[in-house]
């Protein structure tokens, strides 16, 4: 058998295998980035639609849907970030060191290792979470100030949405903390 696979050394086959995994992971990371951009666009459109519907229907209570739209899309964005962090960690901690070892190159030259040892990510992640908090806090207050006779609906919206916000924030903090702890360990 003179096939190409037979002619490749065990090291070359391992490099090809890890390289194909790395390519697949990079494609998944790019997909996650695009997915978050789409969710962000959906969030903006849904909030704009809710505001438009509230004013066109002359019913300010319609605005109370906005916190839940914000929570839904923010949770989808945060889930995508969570998967992204797990994939990136696998690439940085498993695939890149093994490729470096097989190719006899410094691990510091691999992309995820290089990036996470020098740069802090997560600015957009925090932006989404804090925007969600603001929407969930101020929309019920604004509805109450405009229409005080309907105080129970804004109050319920405030409590329910705030509880959901806290849950999402806790999940986001766990993902951020685990990622930061790993980066600190790598930099020691």
Domain assignment present for residue 109? The answer is no
Give residue 139's pLDDT band: very low, low, confident or very high (50, 70, 90).
very high
Residue 180 lies in a domain: no
Task: Tell me what pLDDT residue 21 has.
Answer: 93
Q: What range defines the domain where residue 133 resides?
A: 9-88+120-170
Candidate from 27-31, 40-44, 83-87 with smallest mean pLDDT: 83-87
Is 63 inside any structural domain?
A: yes
Distance (Å, rounded) from C-alpha 21 to C-alpha 17?
Answer: 6
The answer, yes or no, to whether residue 177 has pLDDT greater than 90, is no
Residue 187 lies in a domain: no
At residue 59, the pLDDT reads 93
Residue range 4-30: mean pLDDT, rounded:
85
Average pLDDT over residues 94-109: 87
Q: Please state, in angstroms and rounded to a whole number, the distance separating the CA atoms of residues 175 and 181.
A: 10
Whether residue 37 is contained in a domain is answered as: yes
pTM, to two decimals: 0.80
Kindly state whether residue 98 falls inside one of the protein's structural domains: no
> How many domains are there within the chain?
1
Any domain includes 61: yes
In this structure, is residue 111 part of a structural domain? Answer: no
Winning range, highest mean pLDDT, from 2-11, 59-68, 160-169: 59-68
């Amino acid at each position: 058998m003179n096939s190409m696979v037979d002619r490749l050394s065990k090291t070359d086959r391992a490099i090809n295998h890890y390289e194909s995994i790395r390519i697949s992971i990079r494609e998944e990371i790019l997909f996650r980035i695009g997915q978050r951009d789409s969710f962000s666009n959906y969030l903006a459109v849904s909030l704009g639609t809710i505001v438009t519907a509230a004013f066109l229907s002359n019913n300010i209570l319609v605005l109370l849907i906005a916190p839940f739209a914000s929570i839904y899309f923010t949770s989808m964005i945060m889930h995508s970030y969570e998967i992204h962090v797990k994939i990136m960690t696998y690439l940085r901690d498993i695939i890149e060191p093994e490729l470096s070892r097989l190719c006899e190159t410094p691990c510091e030259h691999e992309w995820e290792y290089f990036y996470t040892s020098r740069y802090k990510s997560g600015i957009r992640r925090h932006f989404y979470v804090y925007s969600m908090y603001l929407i969930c806090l101020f929309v019920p207050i604004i509805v109450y100030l405009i229409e005080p006779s309907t105080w129970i609906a804004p109050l319920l919206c405030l409590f329910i949405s705030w509880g959901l916000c806290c849950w999402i924030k806790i999940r986001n903090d766990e993902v951020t903390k685990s990622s930061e702890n790993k980066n600190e360990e790598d930099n020691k």
